[in-house]
Structure 1
Amino acid sequence: MPAADAFAAEWHVLAQALNLSAALSESLLAELQAGYGHPARHYHNKKHIIAMLNGAAGLEFNDPDMARLAIVFHDVIYDPTRSDNEHRSADLLKDRLASQITPDRLIKAAGIIAATAGHQPSDDHDTNLVLDLDMAILGQPWPVYLSYAQGVMAEYMPHIGDAAWRQGRSSLFIDPTLAREDIFITEHFKPLEIQARENLRHEKAWLSGNAPSA
């Protein structure tokens, strides 16, 4: 199924679970499709969201609908030149659904989105699962990981250039992630830890020109 169709299907199931009107559901779908479907989205696109939703289907959340809603909205605003994308995405969610979802649940979903900015362990179970789902790509086989890394690179390079990307990717993401005691927070994702660290080290070598790309 094409990514656009799969995304729409997932959204319609969620919108029905949230009892959204057909008009609001379609309006939000159009806004989400426009964001994730932008041609500059090489990784942070519908496929990324669908992969997270597919992974979420096998997990136990305290509030699965709010977790899924957070997944759907967490990258809807994505500008590589800004550092507040997650908070802007959370604000968009609150603005669009303030009259449709109870405040406590809306705060929960927005909080999950905001947490994806720093990926720090939370005292909220659902938040930790979503954070690990977002990072699960790190623990995939190298060819899959490389496609992800190249996608993110393609999103940033037009704005900052090759040299700045290579330096920033290593110093701002790879090194801090490797320095963590645990990349993944929840037990469900712990089996990905070793592969994730191998991939990160391989990417760092690749960025410095010391490793093959496949």
Structure 2
Amino acid sequence: MLAAPNPIPVYRDLAAHYAEPHRHYHTLDHIEQCLRQFDLAAERMEEPHAVEMALWFHDVIYQPAAKDNELRSAQLFAQQAGGAFEPHFTQRVFDLVLVTTHRAVPAVQDDGYMVDIDLSGFGMDWASFKADSEAIRKEFAHVPDEAFYPRQAGFLRALLERPRFYFTDFFRDRYERNARENIARCLDELGARGLV
């Protein structure tokens, strides 16, 4: 690697983004949770430094109604990085941020780790899962229940229909069962409340 940018102003910029008042889930707490999961799996990754950098940046741009948050987050990383890193590293981090759109099956192992870490909260205990769900709902407070909950249920059902919720064996062994149970319970509760 070449000389990296001064991390202090970069961190301050990241922290300012993650502290924006419209955020309740996509905060530094989420990044800390992701980094804890990263620490558990890093030795299994091919390019752990790229995954770690991508985790810091993957939600730095977040507007609930926007469809391009991940792209704009990746672009901010590239802008912050300037020419300080080898081109391969910069491109790899950029691509890893983009996999957190969760629109495609991860193509390579580290993409799978990136996606699994981002979704690791689904596999936590019920109280943590519920708190995360409530925080996400607060971020979409501008969306009425009759629009929000059916969309949320559709996303959750799509996750349940995947043959594997987690793409890596490490996270599958660790969280798959809890994630499926949490999602099923959430869908049952939404149905019981007449929201879906």
Tell me, yes or no, whether TM beats 0.5.
Answer: yes
Corresponding residue for residue 135 of structure 1 = 119
Corresponding residue for residue 181 of structure 1 = 163
Q: Compute the displacement of 1:203 (Å).
A: 1.0
Corresponding residue for residue 67 of structure 1 = 51
Secondary structure (helix, strand or coil) at the match of 1:152 reads: helix
Q: Compute the displacement of 1:26 (Å).
A: 2.1
Alignment of 1:159-178 (within 5 A): 159-171=142-154, 173-178=155-160
CA–CA distance in structure 1, aligned partners of residues 78 and 113 of structure 2: 21
2:14 aligned with 1:45: no
Check whether the contact 1:140–1:196 (CA below 8 A) recurs between aligned residues: yes
CA–CA distance in structure 1, aligned partners of residues 103 and 56 of structure 2: 17
May I ask how many residue pairs the two structures share in their alignment? 191
Q: Compute the displacement of 1:18 (Å).
A: 7.6
Amino acid at match of 2:182: N
- How many percent of aligned residue pairs carry the same amino acid? 27
Amino acid at match of 2:79: D
Corresponding residue for residue 4 of structure 1 = none
Check whether the contact 2:2–2:86 (CA below 8 A) recurs between aligned residues: no
CA–CA distance in structure 2, aligned partners of residues 56 and 19 of structure 1: 24
Corresponding residue for residue 139 of structure 2 = 155
Check whether the contact 1:138–1:200 (CA below 8 A) recurs between aligned residues: yes
CA–CA distance in structure 2, aligned partners of residues 65 and 194 of structure 1: 29
Check whether the contact 1:166–1:208 (CA below 8 A) recurs between aligned residues: no
CA–CA distance in structure 1, aligned partners of residues 13 and 146 of structure 2: 34
Corresponding residue for residue 180 of structure 2 = 197
Q: 1:93 aligns with which of 77, 80, 83?
A: 77
Secondary structure (helix, strand or coil) at the match of 1:160 reads: coil
Q: Deviations over 1:32-83 (max 9, x none)?
A: 0111011221111101101111111122222221111000000000111111
TM value normalised by structure 1: 0.84
TM value normalised by structure 2: 0.91
Q: Compute the displacement of 1:147 (Å).
A: 0.5
CA–CA distance in structure 2, aligned partners of residues 19 and 67 of structure 1: 19
Q: Compute the displacement of 1:204 (Å).
A: 1.4
Does the C-alpha gap of structure 1 residues 121 and 109 become closer, same or farther in structure 2, counting only changes over 3 Å? Answer: same
Amino acid at match of 1:96: Q
CA–CA distance in structure 1, aligned partners of residues 84 and 143 of structure 2: 40
Higher relative contact order (CA 8 A, sep 6+): 2
Corresponding residue for residue 5 of structure 1 = none
Q: Compute the displacement of 1:210 (Å).
A: 4.5
Amino acid at match of 1:133: I
Corresponding residue for residue 39 of structure 2 = 57
Secondary structure (helix, strand or coil) at the match of 1:77 reads: coil
Alignment of 1:68-83 (within 5 A): 68-83=52-67
Corresponding residue for residue 116 of structure 1 = 100
CA–CA distance in structure 1, aligned partners of residues 103 and 2 of structure 2: 27
